[in-house]
Structure formats: C-alpha cells, structure tokens
Chain A
C-alpha cells in the first residue's frame, strides 16, 4: 500500500516520542531540586541510579502494553479489572496528563517572560503555543512523530555544544570529593531524581501504535536512556561549573550556567540564546505529547470523535496553565506532579500487571 493511512509508527519513532515526553522543564530546575534534597556533589550518581529505576518502571509498563497489541491503556484496562475501576483509573491518568501539560507550558511562559519578553501578558505566550500544538495534533501520530524526529537531533546537538563550551568555567573540585559522605546523600537525592523523570506514562498508549510491538522493550529503554544521559551531563556540568552552593541559590541553574560565560568570537557570544531556542522547541514537543495523550484518552474513554476532543481539551489546558498564581505555586505543582507519577505507577501499571498475571495463571491453573 503506497499511502500509509494506518496510525503506526516505527521503533525509532517510538523511542524519540518517549524521549520527548520526559525531557521538559526538568532540565532547568532539576539541579536545584536535586541539590536541595541532598547537599552533596555526588548527585550525578543519584541521577544515574534514579534513571535505572525509571527504566525498570518503564519496562513494566511496556510489557503490560505488549500483552494487548493494538490497544491503549484506556482500552485494555477495562478488560483487566472491569469497567468502573478502569474508568476511575483512566480519568486519573487524563487529569495527570492535563496537569503536566499545563505545568510545562506555564514554566515555558515564566522563563520566556523573565528572560526574553518582559511586559508581554501571559496569554499572549500561552495561546499561540496551544494553537500550534492543536494544529500539529490534527495530523495524527505520524505527523507528530515526524516533527519530533526533525527537532530531536537539533536539540541534542545544541545542548551538547553548549555544555562542551561551558568547560571553560568547569572546575572538577566542585564535584569532589567522590562519595565523601558515603552513599547516604546519594540515596536521599534519589527521592527527587526519580520524580524528575515523570511523564513517561505515555508509553502505555504508545505501544498500541507501534508497527513492531515486539521491539517495544528496546524502544522504551532507548527512549528513556537518552534523557537519563542528558540529565546526567546537565548535573555534571551545572554543578561543576557553578558548585552546589551557587546552584542552590539560583532559580534556573542551567540558564545561569550558560550566562556565566561568554564565547567571544562566535556570533552567538551569549549561549543562552540558542539554548532558550532549543529549549522552547523541546517544550513544544513535550507539551504535544501530553496533549495527544489526553486527547486519545478522552476520545477512547467516552467514544468521541478525535477531532472534536482536540478542541475540547484546549480550555482545560489553558486553565491548568494559569491556575498557579506565583512562581512558588508553579514549583509546588512540579513537586506534586513528581509525586503523582510515583503514585500513579503504583496505582496503575503495577497493579494491572499483577492482576493480569494472576488471572492468567489462574486460567492456566483451571485449565
């Protein structure tokens, strides 16, 4: 068939989708959040270990979804535990997606208003963003994943270059002593690093769209390793360049790192400019992931047409973005999201997998 009209995406596209759902506002605030949990220069170890934990959680989700090929979580959850509890679960998931989407776009608006556009009202930043995302989602998952694949290499490249250029203020002493106070601070730090990876629940509805669902595990692991590695480098370079103390005093540590030096000779002497550009692009991709997740959820749960739901979700997203009044509220919402991710994992995929396994074993037993 020459024209592809089914909504299937390839394995690489799945990985890129998962990466984009995790990489978001965290890259700006993560160093400070993690450093506040454990004041130690060994936080990079927490990030790595936290990442491994997250990968395991993602594998659980992927395996669960693989058992129901072609069906998203909104469709197979009712098969496992019946309609009413599944309904509640799915509603929770949808509310969670809308909350994250609102949070991400609000952080984008805050940073843009602070560094780039002072004086612009917040709706002038939020509304075009939401419209643009709506325009993209209309094209279905194929258009979305094509855009992600376009933007992903640019983002990673610029990020890598920015970090490499920050070596000029990098001081290895800021990262020493290694394990000076033992493993305890590392464990304390893990509490927040795991929460930073919130958002990968989209895996549960993504695997239904894969062309080769048997490669789902590989795709998911690859998809989450990339943000783990990027966050690892972020923490190393931010703390190495600025030291833990300065990170704790800085609201947006990553941007402050890039503003702490100038590369004379290049046209972009000030590196926060390309960084903010790619970060905006990345936030767009991130936001689109959740917008898409919420849309699919509502349309499958209530049996509504996909196109109408896209419009219906827009006001919810807008309201979710403007509810926090101050910057403290925004950060609290961020923390709340982290906790919700942890709770949701123990509330949705884990019990579902266990119940499914029990039922299957039970069936086999009977037979």
Chain B
C-alpha cells in the first residue's frame, strides 16, 4: 500500500510545473489588472480656470480696447467701425475672415443700422435708457433670426474666433453676436467606406447641424431627442447624444451620459477619441462601439433602443451598445428580401471564420497533421512544396505581411493607381514568389482567400480586428498545431463571453438563448415576422408593430 503511494507520488519536477502554472497565471492576472487600471485613468476634468473671467464693462471704448488687446495678434480678425442711425452712435463689427455670411452682414446688419427704417421719435426716446435701447435695437432694428448676447470677455473672444460676428454699439450694455458661422462644407454624398447597392445614398458631413438635420429628416418623430453637450477642455466641441425617448432604457442613457461627462482631453478630434474614452475594455481587440457614416444605420439602431453619438467636425457617428453580430450586418440585408438577406448573412459569418482561421489551419495541416487532408491533396502539396526553404510559419508570415503592406500602400496611393496596384501587386507578387521558390502555390491561394474574406466584412473596424487576430492564430498553430488552433478559438470565445458593451454581453444574440433575437442573427426572417424589438436591449416599448 505504502509502495503504491510512493510510486505514484509526483516527483519534484511535477511540483515545479504545478507551481509554475499557478505563478505564471497569477503574474498575468496582476499585470492585466494594473494595465487596466493605468489605462482607464478616470479623473473628471477640472474646468479650465478662467483667470480671464473679466466682464465687459458696458463702456464702448474700454470694451473695444480690451477686445483689441486680446485679438490683435491674429491678422485675420477685422474691425469695421461705423455709425448707426440712432443718434449717430458708434458701432463696431468684429469678425474673422472667411466665416461670416456677407449678405447677412451687409444688408441686414449694416444697412439696417446705418440707414434703417425706424421711427425717429421712438429712437430719440429710448436713446438714453440703455436697457430700452438694447431692446429696441434687438427687437426692431435687426431682422436676423439668430442673435445672442455675451457678457464676459473670454466667451466673446472664443465666439469671435469660432466665427461669430460681434457687434458693439455704444450705449448697449452687452455685446451682440449676430449670425452664425458658416464654414465651408461639402455636399452630401454616399460614404466611401460604406457603399451599398440598394439604399439611400446619403452620408453624414462634418457639420453637426447638417447631421442632426439629416436625422430629423428621416421622418416625423416626436420621440427623437437630441441632447447637446460640450466636450474637450481647451478646444470645445459640440457633441450630440441621440435617442428615442419612449424606447431607450433609461439606465443605459444615464450610463452613456456619465461616461461622456468623464471625458478628459484637451481636444476631441474625432469620434474615435470619444470611442476610446467610453469603451468598457480598452485591452480587448474587439470594438465595443460601432461607428458609421450612414444616417439610416443610426436611425435603425435608435429604433432598436440603442444610443447614437454625433460630434461636430467629423462625419462618423457612434452607436452604443454593440454586439458581435452587428459587426457582420449591413443595412442592405434589410432592404433586400429575406432570402438574399439570409444567404448573404450566412456568407458573412462563413467569411469571418475564414478570415480568422484559414492561415492557422494551413499551418497546422502542413506542419503537424498531414494525415487529416485528403490523400490526393497531400500528394499535390508535397509535389509543389519541394524546394521551399522555409517552414510554413515563416512562409505564411512573409506573404501575409506583404499583403498588409500592399493594403496600407493602397490606401495612400492616388485614385487612378490604387486599384490597379492592388490587382497587380496581388497577382504578380504572388506569382513571382512562387516562381522564385519562396512560397508554395497552395499558400498563395490560402492567403488570397483570407485577404478577400476580410474585405467582405461590412464594417471596416471589424475587419481590422480579424486581421490582427489572424496573426495570433498563426502563432498558436505554429506551436501546437491543431490543438493550438482549437485553443486559440476557445480563447477568443472565452474573451467574447466575458466582454460586455455597456452592460450588454458581447455575444448577445447567440447566448443567452433568446429565440426572438435569433430572428435577426444568421437568418433574417421576413419583415412581417419581426414584431418585437431586441430583447437584449431591455427597451421600454417592446413591440415594433402597433
């Protein structure tokens, strides 16, 4: 009995391995915890302390002096002095070149003030009471729809530099901002990165006002709420949170607003910055926020109970929360009938799998398991791989990295050359490599299939994720063959199971099993059967149909 115990008692090597297992795991966990905390440095930004919190005095000369002091460094700020007709009071227009509406300034402001239609009697009466005078100017003399008053210098300076036109009139207690900045814009056209065959050919532009207008123009909707906040500490920009009032879950809305309020950065250049600040897990290769240029995608998502985020200065809008299946969906699925929609969906899932796993499978079959491929194929592969000097991992890396270089280059090339370069590059480089004996023909096919698969994914950001993960898969396969590939697949599944996007599990439609949500997952059931909104969004209003 004792002998058996002694015989089976593990040796010191086994104890070491067991302990190593535990220690490495603990180490990895601690590293990840610290990385995570370090990256998610949440300290709400302090308001920029305004030591320039100077109030305007109301005295025309001192105010003008102050403004000139602040702004004279800029050569594109112009000062236009004139006199208004009421008692020939002095007035000055301050504006930045290129941003004001000439017609508005000339006709509606200056012409009216200099030579306007007004009752002389009233004018003389109010001249000496500054409040009444201000009201008279605003209400009777300036036929402009957008007017606001500014009391402090800092705000005035910012507004002028942003493009507003300021009007100082001797006798008015505040400075008036007349008109809105009208920056140069481009026409509304279909987004380049999300083209469809069938569907509206509109895309967002860089002007927030136009984007919100596009959303409102989708249809009459009293539920659609657009809430504006400012982000950025040094250079402030406007950000709009869009949602449907009766549908969205209020907790989700609060969560989104809180996270946006916690953004602490001096300048938010693009919604990409917003995305990186508000996402749940910055270490994950999967995006937890979806970005799009299409208004119809945003509206559809809003009706499902999601929240849209638009930022001034960028055409890309964000949609939260997002789940894995959304990254493989395209609005075209809904515009076509259900049969093509379903088949295309299934194709995309297959394509995503191919884009991720094909190189790893290639490496495991070639280097580890020749017994798992059909015999005739094995013989062909052996014949064609004679003379290839590299092991399969290196071979695959060479070609894959070449394709990535080609892809990046293709984005930067001028339009006429770009597509040609892609085709030329692909075919010729692949062929030349085979002729030179560096790679085998089977590999060229594999890599070509993988590259094309990653292009077939509707969301560009999702395509990037799969491209990155492909390399990790190759490494796993190179060490442990098919077992390594399976471990890699499991690792991704585990990661996806743990990932949450604003409280919604990332693998949501698939698991937990909610049969109603499956109507929109791989199959796209006929529109007439899609009666309810997705259960995973926990919306207030459950039914789509009345």
Direct contact of A and B (CB under 8 A): yes
How would residues 463 to 494 of chain B score, 1 for a CB under 8 Å from any chain A CB and 0 otherwise? 00000000000000000111100110111011
**In the complex, are the beta carbons of B503 and A281 less than 8 A apart?**
no
Docked-complex contact A1 and B372, CB < 8 angstroms = no
Q: How far is the CA of A123 from the CA of B24 in the complex (A)?
A: 14
A139 to B372, CA, bound (A): 35
Chain B residues whose CB sits within 8 angstroms of the CB of A358 once the complex forms: none
B497 within 8 A of A: yes
Q: Using known A-B contacts A120-B480, A123-B17, determine if residue A150 contacts B538 with beta carbons closer than 8 Å.
A: no
Complex CA distance for A311 and B24, rounded to whole angstroms? 10
**Could you pull out 25 A-B pairs where Cβ atoms are within 8 angstroms?**
A2-B249, A2-B255, A116-B369, A124-B480, A125-B480, A127-B21, A128-B480, A129-B487, A132-B490, A135-B491, A135-B495, A136-B497, A143-B498, A146-B505, A150-B497, A268-B372, A270-B371, A272-B372, A273-B369, A273-B482, A276-B482, A280-B486, A311-B22, A318-B14, A324-B8
**B486 and A323 form a contact (CB under 8 A):** no
Measured in the bound complex, the distance between the Cα atoms of B482 and A136 in whole Å is 21
With an 8 A cutoff between CB atoms, is A269 at the interface?
Answer: yes
Residues of chain A with a CB closer than 8 A to B503's CB:
2-4
CB distance from B545 to the nearest CB of A (A): 25
Residues 33-77 of B, flagged 1 when their CB comes within 8 A of A and 0 if not, give 000000000000000000000000000000000000000000000
CB-based contact A146/B512 at 8 Å: yes
Contact B26 A311 (CB under 8 A): yes
Q: Does B252 contact A (CB under 8 A)?
A: yes
B103 within 8 A of A: no
B219 within 8 Å of A by Cβ? no
Question: Is B126 part of the contact surface with A, judged by Cβ < 8 Å?
Answer: no
Add 9 more A-B contacts to A131-B24, A146-B497, A315-B19 (CB < 8 A): A117-B480, A135-B494, A145-B512, A146-B511, A150-B497, A262-B374, A269-B374, A269-B375, A314-B21
Measured between beta carbons, the chain A residues less than 8 angstroms from B498 are: 136, 138-139, 143
Point out which of A116, A138, A273 has the most chain B C-beta atoms below 10 A from its C-beta.
A116
- Give per-residue flags for A216-241: 1 if the beta carbon is below 8 A from chain B beta carbons, else 0: 00000000000000000000000000
Q: Is the CB of A12 within 8 A of B512?
A: yes
Judged by a CB distance under 8 angstroms, whether B167 is at the interface is: no
Q: How far is the CA of A312 from the CA of B23 in the complex (A)?
A: 10
Q: Complex Cα distance A4/B507, Å?
A: 15
A124 to B480, CA, bound (A): 8
* A151 at the binding interface (Cβ < 8 Å): yes
How far is B249's CA from A322's CA once the two chains are assembled, in angstroms? 51
Q: Interface majority SS on A: helix, strand, loop or mixed?
A: helix
Assess whether B487 is in contact with A143, with CB atoms less than 8 Å apart: no
* B12: A residues at CB distance < 8 A: none
Asked if A49 lies at the interface with its beta carbon under 8 angstroms from chain B, I say no
Contacting A at CB under 8 A, from B232-262, are 249, 251-252, 255
A280 to B372, CA, bound (A): 16
Closest to B538 in A: A2
CB distance B10 to A277 under 8 Å? no
8 Å CB contact of B251 from A2, A270, A273, A280: A2
Q: By the criterion CB–CB under 8 Å, are A315 and B18 in contact? A: yes
Shortest beta-carbon distance from A320 to chain B in Å: 10
Of the candidates B7, B487, B511, the one whose C-beta lies within 8 Å of that of A128 is B487
Q: Which residue of A lies closest to B9 (CB)?
A: A323
Q: Which of A131, A143, A150, A276 contacts B510 (CB 8 A)?
A: A150
Give the top 5 A-B pairs by smallest Cβ distance, nearest first.
Answer: A149-B511, A3-B503, A2-B251, A315-B18, A139-B498
Bound-complex Cα distance A318 to B372 (A): 30
Q: Considering only CB atoms, which chain A residue lies closest to B487 in the complex?
A: A128
Shortest CB-to-CB span from B485 to chain A, Å, is 8
Q: Give the Cβ gap from A50 to chain B, nearest Cβ, in Å.
A: 28
In the complex, per-residue mask of B495-522: 1 if CB is within 8 Å of any chain A CB, else 0: 1111010110101001111000000000
In the complex the two chains form, what is the Cα distance from A130 to B490 in whole Å? 12
| CA A322 to CA B511, docked complex, whole Å | 34
B251 touches A10 (CB 8 A): no
Q: Is A366 close to B, CB under 8 A?
A: no
Q: Contact between B497 and A132 (Cβ–Cβ < 8 Å)?
A: no
CA gap between A12 and B505 in the complex, in Å: 17
B19 pairs with A277, CB closer than 8 A: no
Residues of chain A in range 125-180 having any CB-CB distance to chain B below 8 Å: 125, 127-132, 134-136, 138-139, 142-151
* Residues on the B chain within 8 Å of A276, using CB: 482
Q: Kindly provide the distance from the CB of B35 to the nearest chain A CB, expressed in whole angstroms.
A: 15
Give the residues in chain B near A145, CB-CB below 8 Å.
511-512
- What is the bound-complex CA distance between A273 and B371, given in angstroms? 10
- Chain B residues touching A, range: 35 or more
Q: Mark B356-387, 1 if CB is under 8 A from A, else 0.
A: 00000000000011011111000000000000
Instruction: For B19, list chain A residues within 8 Å (CB).
Output: 315
Q: Is B369 touching A143 in the complex (CB atoms < 8 A)?
A: no
Are the CB atoms of A273 and B372 closer together than 8 Å?
Answer: yes
Contact residues in A for B15 (Cβ distance below 8 Å): 315, 319
User: Chain B contacts of A4 at CB under 8 A?
Assistant: 503
Expressed in whole angstroms, the Cα–Cα distance for A287 and B80 within the complex equals 80
Instruction: Check A270–B10 contact: CB distance below 8 A.
Output: no
The distance in angstroms between the C-alpha atoms of A131 and B481, with both chains bound, is 18
Distance of A130 Cα from B17 Cα, bound (Å):
12
Q: Which residues of chain A come closer than 8 Å to B481, judged between CB atoms?
A: 116-117
| Chain A 105-118 interface mask (CB, 8 Å, partner B; 1/0) | 00000001000110
Shortest CB distance A270–B (Å): 6
User: Which residues of the partner chain B approach A365 to less than 8 Å between Cβ atoms?
Assistant: none
Specify which chain A residues have a CB less than 8 angstroms from the CB of B502 in the assembled complex.
3
Q: Which of B7, B21, B251, B255 contacts A318 (CB 8 A)?
A: B21
Q: Is the CB of B18 within 8 A of A314?
A: yes
Cα–Cα distance between A117 and B477 once the two chains are bound (Å):
12
The one of A142, A267, A318 that contacts B505, using a Cβ cutoff of 8 Å: A142
Interface string of A266-286 (1 = CB under 8 A from B): 011110110011001100100
| Cβ-based interface call for A328 (8 A) | no
B25 CB-CB contact with A under 8 Å: yes
Task: Tell me if A325 is interfacial: C-beta within 8 Å of chain B.
Answer: yes
Which residues of chain B come closer than 8 Å to A144, judged between CB atoms? 497
Query: By the criterion CB–CB under 8 Å, are A151 and B493 in contact?
Result: yes
A13 interfacial by beta-carbon distance below 8 Å: yes
Q: CA A57 – CA B429 in complex, angstroms? A: 65
Residues of A within 8 A of B25 (CB): 131, 134, 311, 314
A133→B15 CA distance, assembly (Å)? 20
A264 at the B interface (CB under 8 A): yes
Q: Which residues of A contact B505 (CB under 8 A)?
A: 142, 146
Tell me which residues across on chain A come within 8 A of B369, comparing CB atoms: 116, 273
Q: Which of A134, A146, A147, A324 has the most CB of B within 10 A?
A: A146
Are the C-beta atoms of A1 and B10 separated by less than 8 Å?
no
* Contact (A314, B374) CB under 8 Å given A117-B368, A117-B480: no
Identify B10's interface contact among A117, A127, A322, CB under 8 A. A322
Q: Closest CB of chain A to B239's CB: distance in Å? A: 22
The chain A residue with its CB closest to the CB of B11 is: A322
User: Measured between C-beta atoms, what is the minimum distance from A117 to chain B in Å?
Assistant: 6
Tell me which of B24, B249, B369, B374 has the highest count of chain A C-beta atoms within 10 A of its own C-beta: B374
> A143–B483 contact, CB under 8 A?
no
Contacts of B29 in A (CB 8 A): 138, 311
**Given A116-B369, A146-B505: A13 in contact with B374 (beta carbons within 8 A):** no
Q: Is the CB of A127 within 8 A of B17?
A: yes
Min distance, Cβ B489 to any Cβ of chain A, angstroms: 8
Query: How far, in angstroms, from A325 to B510 measured CA to CA in the complex?
Result: 41
By a CB distance below 8 angstroms, the chain B residues around A1 are 251
A130 and B21 contact, CB distance less than 8 A: yes
Q: Is the CB of A280 within 8 A of B483?
A: yes
Instruction: Assess the A270–B372 pair: CB atoms within 8 A.
Output: yes
Q: Are B22 and A284 in contact (CB under 8 A)?
A: no
Instruction: Decide: B494 and A318 in contact? CB cutoff 8 A.
Output: no
Give which listed residue, A120, A124, A143, contacts B494 with CB less than 8 A: A143
Complex interface: chain A residues within 8 A of B375 (CB): 269
Determine if A315 and B21 form an interchain contact, defined as CB atoms under 8 angstroms apart.
yes
Given A124-B480, A142-B505, A270-B372: A319 in contact with B512 (beta carbons within 8 A): no
Task: Assess the A116–B487 pair: CB atoms within 8 A.
Answer: no
Give CA–CA (A151, B491) in the complex, Å: 12
